[in-house]
Structure 1
Amino acid sequence: MLEELSAQELNAAMEANSVGYLTYFAARTPGMRVVDEGDLLLVDSGVASDTFNYICRAQLNVNQVQARTQEAISYFTARGLPVAWWVGPASQPGNLGVYLEQAGLDAVEVDEGMIADLRALPRAVTAPEDLSIQRVSSSQQLEQFAQAVSRVFEPPDTNVHLFYKRVEAVALSQDGPLRLFLGYWRGEPVATSAVFLNAGVAGIYSVATAPHARKRGIGTALTLTALQDAQAVGYTIGVLQASGEGQRIYQRLGFRTICLFKVYQ
């Protein structure tokens, strides 16, 4: 229960959920790799996009941090792949970002780690009456999911389609910890959300809405549906990492900030 956990335990659960999500597809898809080096975790999708290649879970000795940082980055450089380094509240050393910047990476994103009590979720939110939300269960729906996610980028990122095509068997599994949702507005697939059930909490990911469908409550409705799905199978704590644009949406659903995540590229 939320009120029974310390801030440290909540941070740890949030970061564990995030690491589980970042590694989920690569660990189960032929041609992709998760390299666990003990003090670092490298996720290699083979797709030329830093949206799908990661370095995370850093637990680096301060005497080795410079060398280990360069080794991890060089792994992806040698493969010709861009990568994003995720720094969470448990990453070590505490000033890891300084070393990443010395290695040539830039801090490109700061996300707020947020939590919510799923027992206090609203039953519904204001959204268009002609919005239909479905759990992704077919190849066609997965392609539509990828299309909606790719629209977040300008121009749309074709690597998103390539990634979800490669991980189709994993993404369409109906009995795993990951559930994908697709929102249809006026019959058009325009929004997505995902919930990942891991480390005792429900993590929200891939919340995206096509530009022309924004500011109508659609993203909020997709997020609520994913959280309600987790609540229905017994989860009481929701977690997510929110960019500046999404924080107000999540606050309306009862989320509050407890830590920060930084992304370096």
Structure 2
Amino acid sequence: MEANLAEHACHLHRRTDGMTVTETDDLMIADSGIEGDAGTFNIVANACFAPDEVKNRLSLTAFKLRLTGRAFSWRAGPNSADVPFGSVKLTAGQREAAMWSHTADIPVPGLHPDLEIRRVRTPEELADYARILAAGWNPPAVTVVEFYDRVVPSALAEDCPGHYLIGYHHGEPVSAGELFLHAEVAGIYNISTLAAFRRRGFGGAITLAAVDSARAAGYDIVATRASAESEPVYRKLGFRADGWFTEYPVPIVPLEDRGYTTREQLVSLGFEHVHVENDRYDGPQTGVADISGVSHYFVRLNSLFEDGDEFSVWPIDDESLALEQEAWRLYVKAWDAGDQKPARLTELESLLEARRTTPPASARTIFAHWRFDERDARHDANGPTYMMRWR
């Protein structure tokens, strides 16, 4: 069941640009890269740490997640119930019963007179599915709609292990659910019905349709997670409880609370070197930084997030980079000595002004987060005391 949940959490990320999956023998981390997601698609699961490594692995993982600038949800199932989440200040949130059944023990569904259930096959149907799920939040979760809009090709691929079901009431999409086939388990997820259409048996009908699809696919075991409210419904259908799944939210840590981080740690998280800072106001405005190992000019366009900004970037040529680095060293030397700006620095700034601030037609617009490293100064000859991660 935990293996099914973990794969369900990450299989679309693997096939979607801008999303990442980090997997080791003892953990899976799915990062949607979507700003504002509250842990719906940024998920940690399948933790099975060795006893002598639990504290170290837990501490390092929680540390890395908190530095991403995005909220995560750590899903702990029966196999990871003993992980000491409290030692890294993670507090248990929602708890759901781990429920399962043999498909042969679940009744074959009859046709619901007021609900037409079909498998999602088109982008329009997937958009309907997403809107039903998003309506479960108040206000509706825009990140849910954004996620499914981005994963359309993967979700609709013939070899996708996720089968999305949608129920139409007189042509109107009102109920949804998903069957996910992995690890010899047919997992049922995201059973949702619009508020105005609840208590009509639509959710149960979608669930039974999912079980029927699992039977048709040759699966003997079907599993789901149930809240206290829905557990009696699943029991009535033939499911039994066997342990718990507990959510441990990993919240965003405000920038001012993160302190200094070693460059080695930042590099391990994907941050890159900043060569030059030419202007700064509430964070880097213009300068030169590495992006995927290649030096680029950057100009901040606006500040959209607490710690992530939008930049125009374009590669810098070797001559300009050498001149920028010379200018930076002169600036740092004068700053540290409390001296006036040297004439050579004024000359270089005049020469480089247009190159720094005028993006060419080929410039890209991308986002970056920035983090301070451990140097106890504003800057040194090698660059300012922060690094940037681009996406």
1:46 to 2:33 alignment: yes
The verdict on how the C-alpha distance between 1:117 and 1:151 changes in structure 2, with shifts beyond 3 A counting, is same
1:95 to 2:82 alignment: yes
Name which of structure 1's ranges 190-199 and 58-67 shifts more when overlaid on structure 2.
Answer: 58-67
Aligned with 2:123 (options 139, 150, 153):
139
1:23 Cα deviation from its structure 2 partner: 1.7
The answer for the alignment partner of 2:245 in structure 1 is 261
Where 1:51 maps in the other structure, the secondary structure is: coil
1:126 Cα deviation from its structure 2 partner: 8.3
Where 1:116 maps in the other structure, the secondary structure is: strand
Where 2:235 maps in the other structure, the secondary structure is: helix
Q: TM-score, normalised by structure 1?
A: 0.87
1:181 to 2:165 alignment: yes
The answer for the alignment partner of 1:117 in structure 2 is 102
Decide whether the 8 Å contact of 2:109 with 2:212 is kept in 1. Answer: no
- Structure 1, unaligned stretches of length 5 or more? 1-13
Following the alignment from structure 1 to structure 2, what is the Cα–Cα distance between the partners of residues 54 and 217? 30
Count the aligned residue pairs: 247
Name which of structure 1's ranges 135-144 and 170-179 shifts more when overlaid on structure 2.
Answer: 170-179
Calculate the aligned-residue CA RMSD, in Å. 1.7
Following the alignment from structure 1 to structure 2, what is the Cα–Cα distance between the partners of residues 136 and 246? 24
The answer for the alignment partner of 1:234 in structure 2 is 218
The answer for the alignment partner of 2:258 in structure 1 is none
CA shift digits 1:153-175 (9 cap, x unpaired):
12111000011011111111233
Aligned with 1:149 (options 126, 133, 141):
133
1:70 Cα deviation from its structure 2 partner: 2.9
CA shift digits 1:60-87 (9 cap, x unpaired):
2444433322321232322211000111
**Of the two structures, which has the highest relative contact order with CA contacts closer than 8 Å and spacing of 6 or more?**
1
Decide whether the 8 Å contact of 2:96 with 2:226 is kept in 1. Answer: yes
Please show how residues 9-48 of structure 1 align to structure 2 within 5 Å.
14-47=1-34, 48=36
User: Taking every aligned residue pair, what percent have the same amino acid on both sides?
Assistant: 34
Decide whether the 8 Å contact of 1:145 with 1:182 is kept in 2. Answer: yes
Amino acid in structure 2 at the alignment position of 1:33: T
The answer for the alignment partner of 1:59 in structure 2 is 48
Decide whether the 8 Å contact of 1:191 with 1:207 is kept in 2. Answer: yes
Following the alignment from structure 1 to structure 2, what is the Cα–Cα distance between the partners of residues 130 and 54? 36
Where 1:66 maps in the other structure, the secondary structure is: helix
Decide whether the 8 Å contact of 2:97 with 2:227 is kept in 1. Answer: yes
The verdict on how the C-alpha distance between 1:38 and 1:120 changes in structure 2, with shifts beyond 3 A counting, is closer
The answer for the alignment partner of 1:166 in structure 2 is 150
Following the alignment from structure 2 to structure 1, what is the Cα–Cα distance between the partners of residues 158 and 166? 15
Following the alignment from structure 2 to structure 1, what is the Cα–Cα distance between the partners of residues 61 and 90? 12
CA shift digits 1:96-154 (9 cap, x unpaired):
1xx32232222111111111121132223684x22111110111111110000001112
Following the alignment from structure 1 to structure 2, what is the Cα–Cα distance between the partners of residues 126 and 212? 21
The answer for the alignment partner of 1:81 in structure 2 is 70
The answer for the alignment partner of 2:61 in structure 1 is 72
Where 2:206 maps in the other structure, the secondary structure is: helix
Where 2:94 maps in the other structure, the secondary structure is: strand
The verdict on how the C-alpha distance between 1:37 and 1:218 changes in structure 2, with shifts beyond 3 A counting, is same
The answer for the alignment partner of 1:9 in structure 2 is none
Amino acid in structure 1 at the alignment position of 2:119: R
Following the alignment from structure 1 to structure 2, what is the Cα–Cα distance between the partners of residues 61 and 197? 28
Decide whether the 8 Å contact of 2:5 with 2:45 is kept in 1. Answer: no
CA shift digits 1:172-223 (9 cap, x unpaired):
1233321000111232211111111111121101111111111110000001
Decide whether the 8 Å contact of 1:126 with 1:217 is kept in 2. Answer: no
Following the alignment from structure 1 to structure 2, what is the Cα–Cα distance between the partners of residues 203 and 176? 14
CA shift digits 1:209-255 (9 cap, x unpaired):
11111111000000111110111121121111111122122122210
Please show how residues 171-250 of structure 1 align to structure 2 within 5 Å.
171-250=155-234
Amino acid in structure 1 at the alignment position of 2:14: A
Decide whether the 8 Å contact of 1:23 with 1:43 is kept in 2. Answer: yes
Name which of structure 1's ranges 255-264 and 71-80 shifts more when overlaid on structure 2.
Answer: 71-80
Decide whether the 8 Å contact of 1:125 with 1:217 is kept in 2. Answer: no
Q: TM-score, normalised by structure 2?
A: 0.60
Name which of structure 1's ranges 199-208 and 171-180 shifts more when overlaid on structure 2.
Answer: 171-180
The verdict on how the C-alpha distance between 1:117 and 1:38 changes in structure 2, with shifts beyond 3 A counting, is closer
Amino acid in structure 2 at the alignment position of 1:26: H
Following the alignment from structure 1 to structure 2, what is the Cα–Cα distance between the partners of residues 153 and 207? 14
Following the alignment from structure 1 to structure 2, what is the Cα–Cα distance between the partners of residues 206 and 174? 21
